[in-house]
Amino acid sequence: MAIIFNEKARTITLQTKNTSYQMKIGNLDYLLHLYYGPAIPDEDMNYQVMQYDRGFSGNPYESRNARTFSLDAQPQEFSTQQQGDFRTASIEVVNSDGSYSYHGKAVDYRIREGKYQLEQLPCVFACEADTAHTLEVTLCDAVSNIKVILLYGVFEEADVITRAVKVVNGGDRPIHLKKIMSVCLDFLNGADMDLLSLPGRYGQERQVERQPMTHHIHTISSVRGSSSHQQNPFVVLCDREASEDYGRCYGFSLMYSGNFLAEAELDQYDQLRLVMGIHPKQFFYELKPQEAFEGPEVVMAFSSHGFTGLSHLYHDFYRTNLCRSKFVTEVQRPVLINSWEAAFMDFDDVKLVEIARAAKNMGVDLLVMDDGWFGKRDDDNSGLGDWFVNEDKIKCGLHRLVEQINDLGMKFGIWFEPEMVSEDSDLYRAHPDWAMQIPGRHAVRSRNQMALDMSRREVQDYLIERINAILDDANIFYVKWDINRSLADIWSNDLPAEKQGEVYHRYILGLYRVMDAIILTHPDILFEGCSGGGGRYDPAMLHYYPQYWVSDNNNPIDRLKLHYGTSFVYPTCTMGAHISDSGRFVPLETKAVVAMCGTFGYELDATHLSKKEQKICKEQSDRFRKYYHITFKGDFYRLTNPFRMGNMTAWEHVTKDKSEALLSVVVTNLTCNGPQEYVRAKGLDPQALYSVNGSKELRSGSALMNAGLPVSREVPEYSAFQFHLVKKEKSHSKAHKATKKE
């Protein structure tokens, strides 16, 4: 059983294949956290929690004269509010009498088979082959009768534990939530731990930053209305000495696309607390009697095999248990060409057919018509929201245009930006109140566009009706779903003044409803997410989209860092990556090698390429398909760190059975008369023999991993190499045959 309740010790232990997680209904019925790490037998780990008189620390009234029990030093499963614990809280509630207090004690628990699901928020699911169980622990405040239900999903084979929270107002008067965290994890000693996060900016998303824990609250967050370019809702707590292959690493990945907060606090006693959930900025959520509020899910994983081990857990799990699209496993992703960098908004149906015809010679499967096909849209100052085909541009009509592309043997895709509206649009003129704008104040513009109030039902219904009408009008195979600004002017004309603190979250709930009604009802369409590039690249989005645009920055040398950081939690098969004119001094082969660490495609005008260049692209497209089973389904290894000075950046994909590998290298820093460089593989069978790029001369997996392969030096700057390794036989069997012949 994956969840064990020890009645005598009052412990609850969650067991996966390689990990254990334990809590205890402890003194005075507080729910204490005892352990998370490598698997242990079912024993009471409470011996680790030492009780001392901490001096001037608050003690619960029920403890009477015992001064050794203070919540300010207890490792808790869900930290309380105003109960003598002065560390960061998991909940902040304003009670009906105006008091700020939550005093939750364990009153009930339930264990059941299968994985819980949330009613309004996306979350991971259990596949048929999974062994999954759910634990519900109910905490209750005896005075207010507010219940907090802690939800745990245990995936035994995957070594993953999920957490979510539900707050139920069991009282007879309204209350307000000001803060609600989905996870709280207390470590008894965190002084020698580091915090790793993925900060960035537009065009440089998910860079990697690692900092030692100090006696402060370390905050990773976004208040931009989305998970953002600037931060990502993923953090790692790890040993100070942890590396790619060694050391304890704890991952926390939040399934939420709006404002989020992760706080890691090292306290006065070197205990470390991490909380994660919805950001409390402008969050003030009313719960009427008997109403419930769901917090988003956090996907937790632990590995004692460093960052690579942790990444593999997330990659495997997110490939199978996050997105239900058939394109995740059943259908091979197409090689696409996008019209944006080829024509921007200056195109018509004739131009698009010309691009498609040329792209066909490049081995491209799919033409994507990007921004500019709808409303009055000749630049980015008008037309957003008017989701009607502009037949001055698409003169033959959308249906006929798609037929022409299909007649070439290609598929057709289209771009939308549903959440935004231009002031110069028919939609805004008809419904100015649908845009978020604070009464009496001028709106903050970004790209001369405003955000639609996605919390409003009529806005959601309009988008569902218009976008479904377009998708149902023609043989659409692919949709790029974009959002190109952060949110400001947070206000809904549809809500009273006292509920404006709910707008941020209601926006996200409305967005998920629209996505449910469009994406999940079109299972044969491949959807790709985009947010000014990778500004909303989070697991909740990947619940709907099997792939997401990594960044608007297509420069292949910058992409080395972008792909590196993204890979800490998100698998290659989710990374939108294309070849473009960006990085004009970088060879076309290098651009292709980098784009193969992703979904692969083109962002350029195919009609401007020579026959020779088109032939090269055709060979590259075919090579992407050849290696698809390795790059999309295999294990990923970061072989070098592009944030450290070095002469090359290298990475590797290895099939699960270790029979094939694709090792990729980009030379990034050629030095005059420098040393010979070698790249060492990982993840191979050390006893097996491998051919390298079809050579008859075989190398053992041990040699390839320990000695490595030499990288040519006499090459142009930014050259790239790929080594295709194929297992041939076990090395010891060859040696045995040679001995027998003698």
Quick check: 78 and 91 in contact, CB under 8 A?
yes
Q: Read off the tokens for 314.
A: 């997330």
| CA 683 – CA 691 distance, rounded (Å) | 15
Tell the residue number behind the tokens 């294949």, with chain if given.
Answer: 17
Strands (DSSP E) along 540-658, which ranges?
547-549, 575-576, 579-580, 601-603, 635-638, 648-654
Contact 317, 160 (CB under 8 A): yes
What's the CA gap between 281 and 297, in Å, rounded? Answer: 19
* Distance between CA atoms of residues 242 and 709, nearest Å: 26
Phi/psi of residue 705, nearest 5 degrees: -85, -30
Cα distance between residue 312 and residue 654, in whole Å: 11
| Residues 96, 174 contacting (CB under 8 angstroms) | yes
CA atoms within 13 A on the CB side of 569: 28
Q: Are 655 and 637 in contact (CB under 8 A)?
A: no
Residues 641 and 653 sit within 8 Å (Cβ to Cβ): no
CA–CA dist 39, 36 (Å, integer): 9
State the burial class of residue 657 (Cβ atoms within 10 Å of its Cβ: 0-12, 13-18, 19+): exposed
What gap in Å lies between CA 547 and CA 327, rounded to an integer? 9
Please tell me the distance from the alpha carbon of residue 422 to that of residue 426, in angstroms, as a whole number: 9
Q: Are 499 and 455 in contact (CB under 8 A)?
A: no
Catalytic residue flag (residue 186): no
Rounded CA Rg of the chain? 27
Interatomic CA distance for residues 661 and 653, integer angstroms: 6
* 709-to-397, 575, 612 alpha-carbon distances in Å: 55, 27, 31
Which of 146, 91, 109 is CA-nearest to residue 23?
Answer: 109
Q: What is the DSSP letter of 424?
A: B
β-pairing verdict for 11-15 and 698-700: unpaired
Q: How far apart are CA 363 and CA 458, in angstroms?
A: 43
Query: What whole-number distance in Å separates Cα of residue 682 and Cα of residue 693?
Result: 17
For β-strands 648-654 and 635-638, DSSP reports them as antiparallel
DSSP strand pairing (547-549 vs 526-529): parallel
| Residue pair 695/650 in contact by the 8 Å Cβ criterion | no
| Beta-bridge partners for 336 | 366, 601
Phi and psi at residue 101, to the nearest 5°: -160, 135
The CA distance from 49 to 55, in Å, is 17
**Residue 616 is inside which H or E element, if any?**
helix 611-626
Tokens linked to 18 = 């390689």
Q: Which of 130, 244, 538, 635 is catalytic?
A: 538
CA distance 162 to 184: 12
- Tell me phi and psi for residue 353, to 5 degrees: -65, -40
Tokens of 627: 């290696």
Reply yes or no on whether 349 is catalytic.
no
User: Which residue among the candidates 589, 613, 619, 677 is catalytic per the annotation?
Assistant: 613
Q: Mind telling me the catalytic residues?
A: 538, 613
